[in-house]
Amino acid sequence: MKGAKVVERMNERSEEMATEVTNLILYGIYKVLGAGARGLGNSIGEELLHAMMEEYGLNFEGSGDPQELLNRFTDVMINTFGFAERGEIDVEGNRVTLKLDNPMDLHALQLLEKKGMKPVLYPMANAIAVAIKKFSGKNVLIKDIRVHDRHVEVEMLILG
């Protein structure tokens, strides 16, 4: 049997569907790699930061202070990308907690938890870690990702 069929899009592209597909890809990666997915975090963070700087013209240069970088990054994440409804940064010594209300990937993370898989990577936090390393030279460890009903909390540790 041989043939060809061309299907042309008649409706508007559904961003919701695109997000859902991305969420399912994330779920698939977690399912096979489990804790191994965590190792992908830094590379994903690098690519995300690169895209934010090169493709969207965002400039983090000149901000060598990790606290200032965190503030600027969160501002961009919320106001430019609309990644979450609200972001809150809590700093206590070298321990930072980033709280995001209703982030875009909340559903994917809840799906993982429902299947008994603890989320081990968080691309936005990984991008923050890469930015801090790049501009202040400090290493950042992502200690914990906590998923709640309406928000996500990412706990990070800035190394000396």
Question: Which residues of this protein are in contact with another protein, per CB under 8 A?
Answer: 32-43, 45, 120-121, 126, 129-130, 133, 139-143, 157, 159-160
* Nearest distance in Å: CB 84, another protein: 20
| Closer Cβ to another protein, 39 or 64, answer by number | 39
| Closer Cβ to another protein, 38 or 151, answer by number | 38
| Closer Cβ to another protein, 80 or 139, answer by number | 139
| Closer Cβ to another protein, 59 or 139, answer by number | 139
Question: What is the DSSP track for 69-99?
Answer: HHHHHHHIIIIIT--SSEEEEEEETTEEEEE
d(CA 129, CA 156): 9
Cα angle 112, 123, 118; round to 5: 25
* Nearest distance in Å: CB 41, another protein: 4
d(CA 29, CA 109): 12
* Nearest distance in Å: CB 58, another protein: 21
CA nearest neighbour of 102 among 151, 50, 47? 151
